[in-house]
Amino acid sequence: MSAVAWIAVGSLVAWVWLLLGQGFFWRTDQRLPSRAAPAQWPSVAIVVPARDEADMLPVSLPSLLAQDYPGHAEIILVDDCSKDGTGALARELSVRCGGLPVTVVSPGEPGPGWTGKLWALRHGIALARSREPEYLLLTDADIAHEPDSLRELVAAAGSGGFDLVSQMARLRVESVWERLVVPAFVYFFSQLYPFRWVNRAGARTAAAAGGCVLLRTEAAVRARVPESIRQAVIDDVSLARAVQGSGGRIWLGLAERVDSVRPYPRLGDLWRMVSRSAYAQLRHNPLVLLGTVLGLAVIYLAPPVTLVAGLLAGDPPAAWAGGVAWAVMAGTYMPVLGYYRQSLWLAPLLPFTALLYLLMTVDSAVQHYRGRGAAWKGRTYARPEAAPDQ
């Protein structure tokens, strides 16, 4: 066989393994597990870190205020040095909309060794602990919840004996670039952290989705959260590792009642979202970066390239193996497209989307070595992400 055919066969073998051996990552059936209402509903403190979120709060905060929760719940919004009146707007919305009580706190600029969001969470969680809730709901300021979201999360955590229950919010998919890039973000995340593996008792794989995390307060204390992950750029995965490493049981799935309202209308918006933390995901290791680039090329780019090359060169093995690999790839992408209610005709375009993610990852590394670090809302974190202290 030709070299092109061997590459195509290698890609096909990789896709057969991904299809069957990577925790069925491509399936979208990991939703909130079976649950029953507790005899007595525990108290919950909802902690919302917010930096310059005045555009998002009118949509997201009323959804928290309107939570139909049978027990005691309150909201602590941490105004993270906003310059757009985020804190004042939160107080105004609380008065205007009613519902759950809201406390707004402002911690000031992050202390040494802290990333901004975790610095905000530190102050919000500290205030929450003083009120002794049984659970903490950590949710971002761009996340909107259905009225029964908190009730269902708490019921699932209690019924399953979970210390951490996290849902990956359904991201917005309205612009052309959102439709092309956003479903793939969830697809690639679940490929790295198969939800089934995360959710198994005694699992070694740990992950969470930072926009919606219900955390048992006792587990947070045991894992020394957020102090143990204070330098993390990818705070959600680090949080899950810390909880799991301290003996906690975690669960992760796709959301049914939780949506992100933040728009990413242009490619540049999505590019910044991904490249901000892509190299941190690789632990700032150039060898891991090289392996990732080669892996993405063989797994995602090789199938269409070898198919076309095989057809042009009259190389049936290359064309056949490349075509089958591309078909398997597209088939694994269809469930995620269905979850996002997108056309299944986007599935064959996954190699192009993967190329964009490859370039975003390389750009993330370039920005790191230029000393810019991970940038977010005017802050730059130049230091590599630290592993959670155990």
Phi, psi of 263 (to 5 degrees): -85, 145
pLDDT at 386 over 80: no
The string of DSSP codes covering 45-109 is EEEEEESS-TTTHHHHHHHHHT---SS-EEEEEEE-S-SS-HHHHHHHHHHHH-SS-EEEE---S
Q: Is 282 left (phi over 0), alpha (psi -120 to 50) or beta?
A: alpha
Confidence band of 298 (pLDDT split at 50, 70, 90): very high
Give the number of other Cβ atoms within 10 Å of residue 209's Cβ. Answer: 23
Predicted confidence (pLDDT) at residue 387 exceeds the cutoff of 50: no
Task: State mean pLDDT over 204-225.
Answer: 95
Residues 25-37 pLDDT 10s: 999 999 998 899 9
pLDDT exceeds cutoff 80 at 160: yes
Report d(CA 305, CA 267) in Å as an integer.
24
Examine the pLDDT at 202 and tell me if it is beyond 90. no
pLDDT at 13 over 90: yes
Band of pLDDT at residue 197, cut at 50, 70 and 90: very high
Position 311, amino acid: L
How far from each other are the two terminal CA atoms of the chain, in whole angstroms? Answer: 51
Whole-number pLDDT of residue 373: 59
What is residue 385's predicted lDDT score, i.e. its pLDDT? 44
How many residues would you count in the chain? 390
Task: Please say if the pLDDT value at position 99 is more than 60.
Answer: yes
382 has a pLDDT exceeding 60: no
- Which pLDDT value is given to residue 232? 84
Nearest to 244 by CA among 195, 193, 196, 199: 199
What average pLDDT score do residues 245-266 get? 95
Q: Does 389 score more than 60 pLDDT?
A: no
Task: Using the predicted structure, report yes or no on whether residue 390 has a pLDDT greater than 90.
Answer: no
Q: Is the pLDDT of residue 58 over 50?
A: yes
Please state, rounded to an integer, the average pLDDT across all residues of the chain: 93
Question: Burial of 287 by CB count in 10 Å (0-12 exposed, 13-18 middle, 19+ buried)?
Answer: exposed
